Amino acid sequence: MSGLVFLDASFWIAYRDERQEFHSLAKEITPRVFRERVIFVTTLPVICEIHAHFARSRLKKRVVMDDLFSNPVVNIAEVTTQDQREALELLRTHQDKSYSLCDAASFVVMRRLEVVRALAFDDHFRQFGEFEIIG
């Protein structure tokens, strides 16, 4: 299967941080997804979460930034002003959930770009219920 796959911070942090609970699973999944020749889609807010996780490690921080900014199979999608409005509305209409604003923006961008699969270990992606979760 080919196409677009959304890359969430929870997945890439697990992939690059050996101390994470899902590190081994992320290492197993990643080559399989790469073989599908997909384009990974993410957003700057997601990258900010990843960067914040690795901010204290100069080496890891550089590696993950190269992973995302220097990789031809990673597309950093803009979170438009309309996306921001829709994300805020999503939070207002799903007050029973604990989605972060970053999660909500991710869901909205995925809808707009018609991305149906996500690499994520964040349960909020499953709770949202609109996407196939790889992870």
Q: How far is the C-alpha of 108 from the C-alpha of 114, rounded, in Å? A: 10
Of 54, 53, 46, whose CA–CA distance to 102 is shortest?
A: 46
Does a structural domain hold residue 9? yes
Host domain of residue 55: 4-126
Q: What percent of the chain has pLDDT over 90?
A: 90
135 within domain boundaries: no
What is the CATH number for 32? 3.40.50.1010
- Residue 125, token pair as written in the block: 């992606």
Stretch 19-26: mean pLDDT: 97
* 32 domain-assigned: yes
Question: Mean pLDDT across the stretch 69-81?
Answer: 96
Q: Mean pLDDT for the chain?
A: 94
131 in any annotated domain: no
For residue 47, being part of any structural domain is answered with: yes
In a domain, 93, yes or no: yes
pTM of the model: 0.93
Structure confidence at residue 80 (pLDDT): 98
| Per-residue pLDDT band at 1 (split at 50, 70, 90) | very low
Q: How far is CA 95 from CA 71, 88, 89, 92, in A?
A: 36, 11, 10, 6
Q: What average pLDDT does range 33-58 have in this prediction?
A: 94
Q: What pLDDT does residue 135 have?
A: 76
Residue 134 within a domain = no
Decide if 120 contacts 15 (C-beta within 8 A): no
Q: Is pLDDT above 80 for 105?
A: yes
Amino acid in position 8? D
Task: Please give the tally of structural domains in the chain.
Answer: 1
Domain annotation covers residue 13: yes
